[in-house]
């Protein structure tokens, strides 16, 4: 299906699939420590623009202290370029500078300043952003000396443009493929059709050896379907966003009311949740529960892949999810993906 290991240029080895929590050094101290007896945090992703824009920190990272030491974390550290911030406000940043900065501070996986392409972009705009992103990736490949550059696929809502983008990146010889601007496509009612089809097509194009990273995916009930579609690396700040909205993550979907737990339909094994829970946790407890749930879900997916029983796990998730969320599009959208498998690629 896909290679089950990623080796960084520093020589650290990482089991795939893996989840990278979005790490904000000023806010999330302790998050990377993981749990004494629980799922491990094997990597994280940091916004390079956030580090770059703080003059003193930028100087320190470029001269005295590398990124891993700054984070006190020696496992995989990926950086993103700040492209997404540039989507909502103007950035005083150019591609060569932010790529060189990420490489200089020792990021394991770097991102170019790609052009975010929301679903509303028409074909002309999506294609223009695709070409500009390709140009920046070519430039970045010439700059990077230490890390691995993520070739970022764009193409908006057009499957053929995304297919072409994957082909170009393959021909450029990228060792890491990232799927950009897909978040808006899977945040509505668990409709995973487009993102799974794009992922599966990218996997067919790039082959089994190159990791595929889906930017911004972090809902535990969707992760196994994305893995089944060929995605091997995820990152998200979802555990925090969900916690702030009062959402309690489970592998079957997120709850805001304790009903299913009170009914004995789910019991969480994390260090935060007591065996007999009378109300859902809040604040930091909910935050930690959510992150634990994502990491534990990744471990379950890994076990199922090892045992060759991922399909049975998908069926189990769908059964519980349907019972809890009768209006969800998860099952119908996944069925569409499965029915379409025999169609020719990128039609």
Cα separation of the two ends of the chain: 22
**Which has the closest alpha carbon to 288: 54, 64, 41?**
41
If binding is defined by CB under 5 A, does position 98 make contact with Zn ion?
Answer: no
Q: Which of residues 285-344 bind Zn ion (CB under 5 A)?
A: 289
If binding is defined by CB under 5 A, does position 109 make contact with Zn ion?
Answer: no
Catalytic, out of 42, 69, 80, 342: 80
Least spacing, CB of residue 82 vs Zn ion, in Å: 33
DSSP letter, residue 19: E
Residues 6+ apart with CB under 8 A from 98: 48, 49, 52, 81, 82, 113
Among residues 173 and 274, whose Cβ is nearest to Zn ion? Answer: 274
Residue 346 near residue 160, CB atoms below 8 Å: yes
Among residues 112 and 218, whose Cβ is nearest to Zn ion? Answer: 218
If binding is defined by CB under 5 A, does position 273 make contact with Zn ion?
Answer: yes
Least spacing, CB of residue 301 vs Zn ion, in Å: 18
Give the Cβ contact number of residue 63 at 10 Å: 8
Give the Cβ contact number of residue 131 at 10 Å: 13
Q: Which of 268, 294, 314, 318 binds Zn ion (CB under 5 A)?
A: 268
Q: Which of 174, 192, 270, 294 binds Zn ion (CB under 5 A)?
A: 270
284 among known catalytic residues: no
Q: Which of residues 204-233 bind Zn ion (CB under 5 A)?
A: none
Angstrom CA distances, 313 to 40, 194, 207, 316, 334, stand at 21, 21, 24, 5, 14
Least spacing, CB of residue 277 vs Zn ion, in Å: 8
Among residues 8 and 290, whose Cβ is nearest to Zn ion? Answer: 290
Among residues 213 and 289, whose Cβ is nearest to Zn ion? Answer: 289
Among residues 144 and 272, whose Cβ is nearest to Zn ion? Answer: 272
Q: Residue 28 half-sphere exposure, CB side, CA atoms within 13 Å?
A: 21
Kindly list the catalytic residues.
80
Which residues bind to Zn ion, rule: CB under 5 A?
268, 270, 272-273, 289
């Amino acid at each position: 299906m896909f290679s089950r290991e990623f080796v960084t240029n520093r020589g650290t080895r990482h089991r795939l699939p893996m989840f990278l929590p979005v790490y904000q050094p000023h806010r999330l101290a302790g998050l990377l420590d993981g749990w004494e007896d629980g799922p491990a945090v094997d990597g994280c992703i940091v916004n390079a623009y956030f580090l770059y824009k703080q003059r003193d920190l930028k100087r320190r990272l470029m001269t005295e202290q590398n990124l891993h030491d700054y984070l006190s974390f020696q496992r995989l550290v990926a950086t993103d370029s700040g492209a997404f911030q540039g989507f909502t406000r103007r950035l005083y940043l150019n591609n060569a500078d932010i790529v060189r900065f990420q490489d200089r501070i020792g990021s394991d996986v770097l991102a170019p300043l790609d052009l975010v392409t929301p679903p509303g972009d028409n074909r002309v705009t999506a294609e223009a952003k695709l070409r500009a992103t390709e140009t920046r990736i070519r430039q970045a490949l010439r700059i990077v000396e230490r890390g691995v550059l993520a070739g970022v696929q764009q193409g908006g809502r057009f499957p053929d443009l995304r297919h072409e983008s994957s082909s170009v990146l393959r021909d450029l010889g990228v060792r890491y493929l990232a799927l950009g601007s897909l978040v808006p496509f899977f945040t509505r009612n668990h409709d995973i059709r487009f993102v799974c089809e794009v992922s599966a097509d990218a996997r067919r194009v790039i082959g089994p050896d190159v990791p595929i990273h889906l930017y911004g995916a972090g809902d535990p009930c969707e992760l196994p379907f994305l893995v089944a579609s060929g995605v091997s690396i995820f990152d998200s700040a979802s555990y925090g966003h969900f916690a702030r909205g009062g959402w309690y993550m489970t592998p079957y979907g997120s709850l805001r009311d304790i009903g299913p737990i009170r009914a004995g339909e789910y019991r969480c094994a994390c260090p935060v949740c007591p065996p007999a829970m009378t109300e859902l946790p809040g604040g930091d407890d909910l935050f930690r529960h959510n992150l634990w749930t994502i990491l534990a879900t990744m471990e379950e997916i890994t076990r199922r892949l090892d045992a060759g029983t991922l399909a049975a796990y998908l069926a189990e998730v769908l059964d519980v999810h349907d019972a809890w969320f009768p209006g969800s599009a998860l099952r119908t959208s996944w069925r569409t993906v499965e029915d379409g498998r025999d169609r020719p690629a990128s039609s």
